[in-house]
Homo-oligomer: A and B are copies of this chain.
């Protein structure tokens, strides 16, 4: 009997930075050999260029750069084998590929067979699909590489097994959403058991624009048991020992842990998404409008976790309808978290704007115009601070608001990134309460008082919107599950409410189209997941 040690590299890679990624791959392989006696290191899907590279894949120098990168890897004198994901060219066609390099030679190449072209994925825009599974021998064991989507279908793994594969190396760039880690394991358990073959499932750990890759890599043995897991939301180099005896291959059970509870994984995803966006785009920090409400309160807490208090600047911008309570709560939270805090009253700018507009508009009866004016003046102030300090404005609208357009374009929607973009209001509450159980982050009055935009006297969100538990349920049915309005009514919701919500979702596509990017945490966010026309006449009815 012999032992073969493979290290799964759950790591982050920079989009487009092919040569930086090469250096990282080399360094990690050396380290895995030195510290963990790795014989092979397996990386994640398209680690050479980062995932998703989008239209960078259409740049004409891609092939040259990939060829150079392969040269560098071959010359690097790696102490162990590596399996990497990369764009592969063959006869003028581009594939989502993988390659095993050993002893300064390319010992195997593979082309992804199943190309996802739904939800957030556009792989058929770029890649041709491979035609078959294949195997290669490494130290007497027969391996087959599969890439992400390949593992969700029967044919590629069955064919690999048929070709004599003893172990599947599954390279992934599988984006996070709530509950996704457990789903992946369950699906792989089924398919591994069915084909009686172990699977090493390696996922990346990083965030890219709206997508978060949570890692959560794992190993399933040929009995379909999950025998090893990698901690979510961390860089991990995880050693897997394959015990080989003739044709038999077994994997011992090692550090198997359970996945994070929902609230914790949600928090981690929001922190990672925000941190990556701010850092990778070179912002010194963020500035946000702290209203004394729960959305900005939670956003502040997340920003402090993501960047540290010294990179966060909170600005309270009171006006006539801002309650004393809001000012006090904002100050309390800023003090609690130790962030820079300014109070910038907007009354003078509002009055000047009002007077300036008076000759053109009849502003005698206050309405939406005046409310939006307040929100936009706040945006104006924050953007000026951003311009002068270089800090990115963090916008704080939640998914419920983004859905029905309860937000002011160029007002509270100003900002470079939105941690809460895909978080429904009910989940905003739940997460805020959860964070406070760990340590005090958000004053409890901010969480418990009825939500208000404070843009008019005694305004409450529920004057304009259905109660959030109902609103969020309807949004989930309509957006995530694609139910029709009638089908939602049939679930017992009030017809008028359902139709109102669905109509608002449809007609506010124009606002969302100009909204900041934000972390995707559900199976269907409002980003690249949901591609609706702005102009259309589809009725939500049946």
Known A-B contacts A276-B535, A534-B209, A534-B517; the reply to A381 vs B410 at CB < 8 A is: no
Known A-B contacts A353-B349, A357-B344; the reply to A535 vs B380 at CB < 8 A is: no
- Assess whether A416 is interfacial by the CB under 8 Å rule: yes
Give the residue of B17, B59, B124, B361 whose beta carbon is less than 8 angstroms from that of A384: B361
Known A-B contacts A124-B117, A276-B535; the reply to A387 vs B368 at CB < 8 A is: yes
How many copies of the polypeptide does the oligomer hold? 2
A502 CB to nearest B CB, Å: 11
Query: Are B482 and A537 in contact, CB atoms less than 8 angstroms apart?
Result: no
A346 partner residues in chain B, CB cutoff 8 A: 356
Query: Are A372 and B383 in contact, CB atoms less than 8 angstroms apart?
Result: yes
- Give per-residue flags for A35-71: 1 if the beta carbon is below 8 A from chain B beta carbons, else 0: 0000000000000001011111011110011000000
- Give per-residue flags for A313-334: 1 if the beta carbon is below 8 A from chain B beta carbons, else 0: 0010000000000000000000
Query: Are A484 and B125 in contact, CB atoms less than 8 angstroms apart?
Result: no
Query: Are A50 and B209 in contact, CB atoms less than 8 angstroms apart?
Result: no
Q: Tally A residues with Cβ within 8 Å of B.
A: 87
Q: Which of A138-146, A440-448, A525-533 contacts B (4 or more CB under 8 A)?
A: A525-533
A126 CB to nearest B CB, Å: 9
Known A-B contacts A348-B355, A410-B379; the reply to A15 vs B484 at CB < 8 A is: no
- Assess whether A152 is interfacial by the CB under 8 Å rule: no
Query: Are A209 and B533 in contact, CB atoms less than 8 angstroms apart?
Result: yes
Query: Are A533 and B15 in contact, CB atoms less than 8 angstroms apart?
Result: yes
Q: What are 14 A-to-B residue pairs whose CB atoms are below 8 Å?
A: A17-B536, A17-B537, A53-B536, A54-B532, A59-B538, A60-B484, A61-B484, A280-B535, A346-B356, A357-B384, A372-B387, A379-B410, A409-B414, A514-B516
Question: Which residues does A use to contact B, with CB under 8 Å?
Answer: 14-17, 20, 50, 52-56, 58-61, 64-65, 117-118, 122, 124-125, 208-209, 276-277, 280-281, 315, 342, 344-346, 348-349, 351-353, 355-357, 359-363, 368-369, 372-373, 376-377, 379-381, 383-385, 387-389, 409-410, 414, 416, 482-484, 487, 510, 513-517, 530-539, 541-542
- New contact pairs (17) apart from A16-B537, A53-B536, A360-B385, CB-CB < 8 Å: A14-B536, A15-B536, A16-B538, A52-B533, A53-B533, A56-B532, A59-B482, A122-B122, A122-B531, A209-B533, A276-B535, A281-B534, A342-B359, A345-B356, A349-B356, A372-B383, A514-B516
